[in-house]
Amino acid sequence: MKKKNFICISALCALMSFSFVGCSDDDDPIVDQSHVVSNLNFTDENPEALKISGTLSWEAPTLTDGFTKYVIYSSSDGTSKDAKIGEVAIGTNTFAVPYTVSLGYLLVVTASESNEDSAGASIPVTDYVEDDSVSALYFLSSGNMGNNNASLTMYDIESGKVTQDYFKERNGRGLGDTAQDMIVYGDKMYIAVYGESTIEVTNLKAKSIKQIKTEGQPRAMVADGGKVYVTYYNGYVARLDTASLEVDATVAVGRNPEQLAVANNKLYVANSGGMDYNTEVGYDKTVSVIDIPSFVETKKLEVVLNPTSVQADKQGNVYVVSMGNYGDILNTMQCIDSKTDEVSVLKACPNATEMAYLDGTLYTFYSQYDANWNTTITFTNYNTETGVAQEWTKDATIAKPYKMCATGSNIYVTESDYTNNGDVYGFDANGKLILKAEAGLNPMKVVLAQKDNI
């Protein structure tokens, strides 16, 4: 933990309310320094932004005759007595600074019961600064809906140490109910918590910066051009400004939107209609196209029933997995040309359940029950430049693959039985197992947070 400390400031340096004799005018007053404290020291120990607390200390003045106490003020300039914070008796050279939003100065004045000395000593105050160096993987787990048990697991890359409930450890509270997605963008992390209708914004060490209440249940996120775009399950996409950390606009899309991707200055949003699966309306089968500059939906593209997952490659192609109806309409992989918005089934890799894109390769797994309810699982990689698909060789058996994502230079597959804590498997681009670690219940996403404080 690194905090920004201030060196002790003597009264000679910190005192601003007196004038020196020498170069100054002959009429300037001479202040008796023997009554002024010296060597002030203060470090903010409160990690929350604009909340200042800690211990202020000083050395007693040379002479204290006739004085009974020290009075502590907050000061905007180091000399003015803006607000009295407290006082302590002579002989006590420390003061516990309570919460205050003032980031100016702390001023100490020697006083009697009826009078205060004309001079004081001050020290500037700055907000707590944490060592922001980090090299970690975070595993986001949704928990079970209604059980309020979403969690964040931290995997320290250097030591291999796994810390469960890391968000709770850092913030003194849990994430809440059913976290769905998490992204790293710039020096912040964004966590969509569906059941709470909130987006948690944290630093790269999972310390909460702001909890944003949303007007819909956030489902999935993507970042582009200083904005984070979030699907709301009630049929909207929200635009979150990463400077103000405020939602500055929303646009209506289709029913129950899931994932979204950026390609050719457009957002592609999968409208699943998942909440209508057992109604006459049924699943949705569209992908909304949103023009990013105007933030207006320009069209809806028809795809196979129940689209959920969306990924974009560097050529501007957008890949969409539709889950079908879990019966006669199978999981289908489609490709959208973002220049023409034409949709076609990806013949080289026509079926998929989950996918992740990394450096020109689309990684997928396809999990399907056979007639005897045995699960058949196929892992495939598809070269988006050559159009060649092949089985993705991996040296681990994953009985119940759940989600898939790419972060850093690796691919991660999570496993879940919906009852116990799940595992996270990490593979390099060639399918070699490089990591296996326990996450929480129903692990949804893996992100890499890496920053060196130099």
pLDDT in tens, 107-119: 999 999 999 988 8
Show the tokens assigned to 81: 């007595």
Residues 22 and 68 in one domain: yes
CATH number of 32's domain? 2.60.40.10
Residues 74 and 160 in one domain: no
pLDDT given for residue 370 in this prediction: 63
Residues 196 and 342 in one domain: yes
Residue 2, in any domain of the structure: no
pLDDT given for residue 103 in this prediction: 80
CATH number of 144's domain? 2.130.10.10
Residues 143 and 199 in one domain: yes
Q: 285 in helix, strand or coil?
A: coil
pLDDT given for residue 43 in this prediction: 87
The number of distinct structural domains making up the chain is 2
pLDDT given for residue 371 in this prediction: 61
Query: Mean pLDDT, the chain, as a whole number?
Result: 90
Q: pLDDT at residue 12 above 80?
A: no
Q: pLDDT at residue 292 above 80?
A: yes
In this prediction, residues 430-436 reach a mean pLDDT of: 94
Residue 5, in any domain of the structure: no
Burial status of residue 132 (CB atoms within 10 A of its CB: 0-12, 13-18, 19 or more) = middle
Q: Would you say 452 and 133 are in contact if contact means Cβ atoms under 8 Å apart?
A: yes
pLDDT in tens, 124-152: 998 877 666 889 999 999 999 999 999 99
Among the listed residues 362, 333, 356, the one whose alpha carbon sits nearest the alpha carbon of residue 413: 356
Q: In 370-409, where do the E strands start and end?
A: 375-383, 389-391, 401-407
Show the tokens assigned to 99: 């919460």
Q: Would you say 275 and 252 are in contact if contact means Cβ atoms under 8 Å apart?
A: no
Among the listed residues 63, 44, 52, the one whose alpha carbon sits nearest the alpha carbon of residue 119: 63
Of 94, 124, 154, the position where a domain reaches its end is: 124
Residues 68 and 215 in one domain: no
Residue 6, in any domain of the structure: no
Of 80, 106, 124, the position where a domain reaches its end is: 124
Burial status of residue 224 (CB atoms within 10 A of its CB: 0-12, 13-18, 19 or more) = middle
Residue 185, in any domain of the structure: yes
Q: How large a percentage of the chain has pLDDT more than 70?
A: 90
Q: pLDDT at residue 217 above 80?
A: yes
- Which domain range does residue 270 map to? 134-451
Residues 370 and 235 in one domain: yes
Lowest-pLDDT choice from 1-15, 85-99, 275-289, 309-323: 1-15
Query: How many other C-beta atoms are found inside a 10 Å radius of the C-beta of residue 12?
Result: 12
